[in-house]
Structure formats: C-alpha cells, structure tokens
Chain A
Amino acid sequence: MLSHLDPLTLARAQFGFTVAFHIIFPAFSIGLASYLAVLEALWLATGRQVFLDLFKYWIKIFAIAFAMGVVSGLVMSYQFGTNWSVFADKTGPILGPMMAYEVLSAFFLEAGFLGVMLFGLHRVGPRLHFLATLVVALGTCFSAFWILSVNSWMQTPQGFTINAQGQFVPQDWWAIVFNPSFPYRLVHMVLAAYLTTALVVGAVGAWHLLRDRRNPGARVMFSMAMWMIAVVAPLQIAAGDAHGLNTLEHQPAKVLAMEGHFQSHPDGAPLIVFGLPDQETGTVRYAVQIPKLSSLILKHDLNAPLPGLDTIPRENWPVVPVVFWSFRIMVGLGLAMLLLGLASLWARWRSKLYEWAPLHRFALVMGPTGFLAVLAGWVTTEVGRQPFTVYGMLRTSASASSLSAQAVGTSLVAFVLVYFAVFSAGVLYILRLMAKPPHPGEPGIQAGTPIRTAGITPDLAVDPDRVLQPAG
C-alpha cells in the first residue's frame, strides 16, 4: 500500500518514526534521574520521610521508562546501516566511534550503578546508594553528551578531511566533538529534558492534589515541579534564543524557514507571527506580522538587514511549512510553560499553591506538553537541516541505501504496528503507577521482579530471604 511512495521518503519516515518514539523515553529519564538524585539528597540532608517516599514512588516509573529507552535504542543502532548505508559508509569513521562511546557509557551504567540504584538501598547503605543515583544521573547526561555531539556534527561539521573513497575522516577529534552548534544544542536539550520531567511531575502532583490536597507527597512534588518550571522555563527561552543565533550563523536557511522569510529585507525584517508559507511561490499567505521585530530578535537591531531564502539556491531549501509550524508549536508551548511558572509564583505569593484548583488543572493539562515541545523542536532542527544529512556536505538523497520501496514500506508498517502495541502497553503501566497517590512508607521496586532495567547486576533485585543454597 506504500509502494507508490519512493523509498527515500519511506526511509525518512521510518527513521523519523523510530527516533521520535525513542527520544521520548530518554528525554524523560534524563530529567527523572536528576530529580531522583535531588530527592535522595534532600532525604539525606533533612531526614524527612516524604522525600524517601517520593524517591520510591518515582523510581518505579523511572525503571520502566529507562527500559523502554533501551529497547527502542537497540533499533536505532541498526537503522543507520539498514536504511542509510551510504551515509554510514561515509560518516562511519567519525560518527561510529562517538556512537560507540555512547553505547559503552550506557552499557557501563547498566553494568553497575543502575542495579544498585534500583534495588540496593538496603544492601549498600544510603551514602553509597546516593553515589549510585548520582552516577546514574551523570551517566544519562553522558549519553546525551555523545549522541548530541553526533547530531551537532551533522548540523555543523568540522575537524575532518575527505579521503579518496569519499569518506569523512577525522583530523581533529576535539574540533569534531566540540563542533560549533554542540554546546548550544546540549544545553537546550538537557534543559528540555528537565522541563519535560518537571511538567510530568507537576501534572501527577496536580492530579493528586485535585483529589486530596492534604496528601504530603503530592504537595511536595507539586511544589518542587513548580519551582523547577518557574526557573527553567525562562532559562530555556534564553538558551533557545542563543541556539537560534548560533543556527543563523551556521545554518541560515533553517532560521529563515523557521521565520518564514522567503524575501530579503534590507532595512529591518518583520516578525511573521502566523501565516501559510507556500514553498512553490515562495510567499507567506495571510501573514500576520509585526514590523522590524525579526531583525530585533535575530540581529538585536530594528533596522538590521536580513537576507531571505531568495539568496539561497532553491534546491538547498528545507520544507518551509513544516519547519515554520513545528517551530511555532515549540515556541507556543514554551510560552505556555512560562505562564504556568509565573502563575505558580503568584499562587505561592498568595499562599494558595495547594488550594487553587485552576492552577492544578492548568498543570495537569500541561503534563504532556514537554514531550510535544521536544518533538516539535526536533522536527524543527532535523527538517531544517534538509536537504542534507551532513549539512552542506552530503545530501539526504545521496545518503540512503538503494532499497526497494516494498522493503522499506513493509518494515515501516511492521515498526508502526509493533511500536504501538509494545510501547502503549509500557505507557499504560506507567500511567497506572502515576494514578496511585504517593503515600507514607511507599514501597520501592518489588524484589524478585524480573525487570529489564536490572541490567547486568540483577543480583540486587533478589530478595535475600528467597535465595536458596547453591547446588553442589
């Protein structure tokens, strides 16, 4: 049924689908790992039971989210070869080692500290356990470091030469790893992960406050999440702005597509708030615009000239409507998050943080918006990189494996079916856990539970009372 589509489009759809599913889980587990570390630190510092209860409440959810990240990650490590073999051949000498580091660091995490974090509190004592939690939180950031460095190099490649076989070969690893867009992207993504987690935690807290506003666990998690959103949402907007300026310097076509600037503006470009970009005619229909504001945002000067997409050859344009709209979705959600943060500050100031039901409903609705914003942001940056895989160096159309549409289409349908079946079940289990209110003496992960996240040190998952004598 998909055979009328060309294999390139199908391969892009497949990569987009599998990576979009994958990114949801790490975005959550990066933030949650840090949140768990903070909860445990507060418990150790204050001795208050509620922090331990919350730690045990969220670690059960963390275990499933982490597991689903691992499962969907397995597929990603083969997608480059199956569907993007020319890309894999050409970039392997540079991207391969960086991805190997990502795999090894994730591997190392699973090998040790994760098992201790999940099951070891009563085995190794609170201090050593806290160390394990910290290492896991750091380790998730480490994974993010490498994979974002890979992605950033594809956006702003440097530090390479091209050999006789047409491969990118490393010349300066430092320049490759710390390529120009990497620091901005890393900060923007890690903040996004924190914000996403805070929104989920806030929504779960709000849900339970709406049912019982005296639940101490719900109060503490809601308050913490609202502080986090109030602080991180403005920071994220600032980081996004800096990232955008960096993109304007290195990938102007992407920013112009985000802004919908087909035409050049020699004396101050307007900000197009909404409109319908038309790729064919190179115009934005029904544009609602504010004069000179785009130049103010991008150049910090009302009258600064801004060249448009008309200065860039048409065959190097990204698909403008997609980038234009995904960017607006991301920014719109970001502004809503800022509003939530400000509303919580106002409620706190009026001492009705735990009583003001409209705020709780707002926070509940905002629960999934972090994921949406992350996905919209990724669409903006990845579609905005088109029509290249390695920006300016390797075109997407020259990157794919020569496969028949049948092969790619069939596997795409299989992925869609399997992912929806499997991951819906996983998300359902997470939602069931969230639906239960946190309570004093919250149980941790049950011993004896076969759980994927146990990694290679599952011995800690075993209840010592149930260990029988080894035979022989």
Chain B
Amino acid sequence: MGYSVDLTVVWAMIIAFALLAYVVMDGFDLGIGILFPVFRPGRERDTAMNSVAPVWDGNETWLVLGGGGLFAAFPLAYSIILPALYAPFMAMLLGLIFRGVAFEFRWRDPGHRAFWDVAFSAGSIVAALAQGIALGALLQGIPVEGRAYAGGWGDWLSPFSLLVGLGLVCGYALLGATWLVMRTDGALQQQARCLSVWFGAATLTAIALVSAATPFLGAAYWQRWLTMPNVLFTAQVPLLVVIAGYALFHQLRHGAERSPFLIALGLFFLSFVGLGISLFPDVIPTQVTIWEAASPASSQRFMLVGAAVLIPLILAYTSYAYWVFRGKVDAEGYH
C-alpha cells in the first residue's frame, strides 16, 4: 500500500502534458472565439469558424482527461483546488457549454445566428478569463487547513489573478490570430496579422508583469527562481521569451505564415516551463507537494495501464486529423 515516488512523478508529467495539450490546442480555438466580434458577420466569421470546426471538440477532451486524471492520481489536490476556485471553474464550465453548442447551433439554426455568434464569443472569453484567473489564484496561494480548503469563496479575486486572467485571454487571442495567419488568406489574413502584432505585444507585456510579480508572492518562488545556482538555469527561460518575442514580430513583419503560430506555441511552452519552475514539487504552492497529494501506488498503477495504451493512440489520431486538415480554409468549408 506504499506510495511510489516514481509513479507519482510520471502521473504529474502525464497531467501536466494533458494540461499543456489542452492549453495550446483549445487555446487557438478559444482565441478565434475571443477575436470573433472583430470579424465581419458573414464570410469572415464563417471562414474563421471553419478553420477550427474540425478539431475543436477533440481539443476540449484534454480538459476532461486533465480533470479526471487529477482526481485519480492526486485526489487531495483535486479536492482542495476545485472548491478554492469554485466560481472560476463554474464560470469556465458554463462558458464552454455555451460556446460548444454555439458551434453547432449557429449552423443548424441560421435564423438565430446573431444570437449564437454572441454566445460563441462570450462563452470563449468567459472560459479563457476564468482559466487565467484560476491559474493566478493558484499561484498567489490557497489557504489549507487539514485536508481542506480554508478560505472564502471570493478569495480568488485579486489584482494578480485578474492580471493572469487578462494575460491568458490575450495569449489565446494571439494563438487564434496567428492560427488564422497560417490558415487563411486575403483580407482576413491581413487583419489577423495586424491582430497578431497587437495581441503579441499584449501577451508579452502580461508575461513580463506576471513574471515580475511572481517572486514577490512567496519566498518559495524567490528561492526557486533567483538564488544560485538555480538562477543559471531559470534565467534561460526569460531570455528565450525575449528571443521568441523578437522573432514573432520579425516574422510577422516579413510576411511569414506559419512561423508566427509556431512561435506563439513556443511562448506558451516557455510560460508553462516557467510555471513548472515556480510550482515543482508543490501542487498547491507551499502547502501540498505532489507526493502528499498522490493516491496510493496501486491506484496509480491500475490507471497507468490504460493510459499507456490509450493516450498514444489518441495522440496518433489527433496528429492524423491535423495532418488531413492542413492548408488554407475559406467560407465554403474546411480542408
């Protein structure tokens, strides 16, 4: 009935991977939703929608896997984080439901398309903002007593969590805009290029502000980031962010189509690594480590059998679907 150190790390990596997969993949289609009001009704909106229609549902299932995996592998973390971030999580779920059905109903019910367009956009913005706020609230710390959340239901709201929330909205918008640069052409592509510059600047500003604020949130962050010899390693992360930021603007200015999206993905990856440096090995900052939150080895092993077989298969299918759908889209359909 022992707790296994190695299995716990493996499961932490699997869940981190599921979350990263979710953030980058659902990120660009949430981004399309965030940018939706900017596009003209009709052809432009249809094209933007068509560019993500084939893949968005698969993207969202990673969120279910992340939540289910957390429950199974780290039940204590699941049972502390979700009540602590109750309001953001509820808002996120309702936002995702709304935008999810809007995808389909907008097409099935052209008479009410204007309504479903608003639902799609509002749902996307609420979901993105709520995810960012949840992350910010986790980073700023969650009071724990015994094995339960010990704060109030409004503790998640702070200038810092709002900053992270807005940052994530900008980041998703950047992913969405660069995705459109890659997948469309003509006037819509021009517009997306312009939006990429603005949201690129906003995202980099948000990353800078969040990075600057984080070490002041707690001594552990300061120690993990800024003491020797850690700093020799951790300093590479902001350095790479600066390089990526420069490359993004350079590529956008020179008319590149694919690299801006890939660089935006890189920015998310670097932010994710930064997040990992801030947190590891805690799952709830300074309160609960992954080993304290872990379920017993017998639970983790039982589940690993299924995950080891099915996750690679799912990844293979997903890659295949993206491969099939490479290339440009227009209002008529996706291809």
Contacts and interface: CB of A to CB of B under 8 A. Distances in A.
Contact of B321 (A107, A163, A449, A459): A459
Nearest to A419: B97
A86 interface: yes
Interface residues of B, number: 79
B333 A94 contact: no
Contacts of B67: 77-78, 81
Interface string B300-335: 101100110011011001101100111110101111
Contact of A71 (B72, B97, B327): B97
A80 B303 CA distance: 19
B153 A406 contact: yes
Contacts of A70: 57
Nearest to A414: B94
Interface string A336-376: 00000000000000000000000000000000000000000
A329 to B, nearest CB: 29
Contacts of B333: 448, 462-463, 466
Given A99-B68, A111-B318, 8 more contacts: A74-B63, A78-B82, A81-B82, A107-B310, A169-B298, A407-B86, A454-B57, A459-B320
Find the residue from A70, A95, A451, A458 having the highest chain B CB count within 10 A. Answer: A458
B250 interface: no
A452 interface: yes
Contacts of B60: 74
A111 B82 contact: no
A170 B299 contact: yes
A403 B303 contact: no
A95 B75 CA distance: 10
**Which secondary structure dominates where chain A touches chain B?**
helix
Nearest to A406: B153
Contacts of A415: 94
A311 interface: no
Nearest first, the 8 A-B pairs at minimum CB distance are A92-B75, A96-B72, A81-B82, A470-B327, A456-B58, A450-B53, A85-B79, A89-B79
A459 B68 contact: no
A333 B72 CA distance: 38
Contacts of A78: 67, 82, 89, 93
A111 B64 contact: no
Contacts of B80: 85, 89
A108 B313 CA distance: 8
B96 interface: yes
A90 B146 CA distance: 13
A150 B98 CA distance: 29
B317 A112 contact: yes
A70 B325 CA distance: 23
B202 to A, nearest CB: 28
Given A88-B79, A96-B68, A466 B332 contact: yes
A167 interface: yes
A163 B1 contact: yes
Interface stretch (B33-41, B99-107, B190-198, B266-274): B99-107
A455 interface: yes
A152 B189 CA distance: 54
A458 B317 CA distance: 10
Contact of A107 (B64, B70, B302): B64
B321 to A, nearest CB: 5
A449 B328 CA distance: 18
Contact of B81 (A75, A81, A407): A81
15 contacts: A80-B71, A85-B149, A86-B79, A89-B75, A97-B72, A108-B314, A169-B296, A170-B296, A171-B298, A407-B86, A411-B90, A415-B94, A458-B57, A459-B324, A468-B327
Interface string A128-169: 000000000000000000000000000000000101011101
Given A74-B93, A78-B67, A456 B299 contact: no
B96 A74 contact: yes
Contacts of A402: 83, 148-149
A104 B310 contact: yes
A45 interface: no
A450 B75 contact: no
Contact of A93 (B148, B152, B296): B296
Contacts of B299: 92-94, 96-97, 169-170
A403 B83 contact: yes
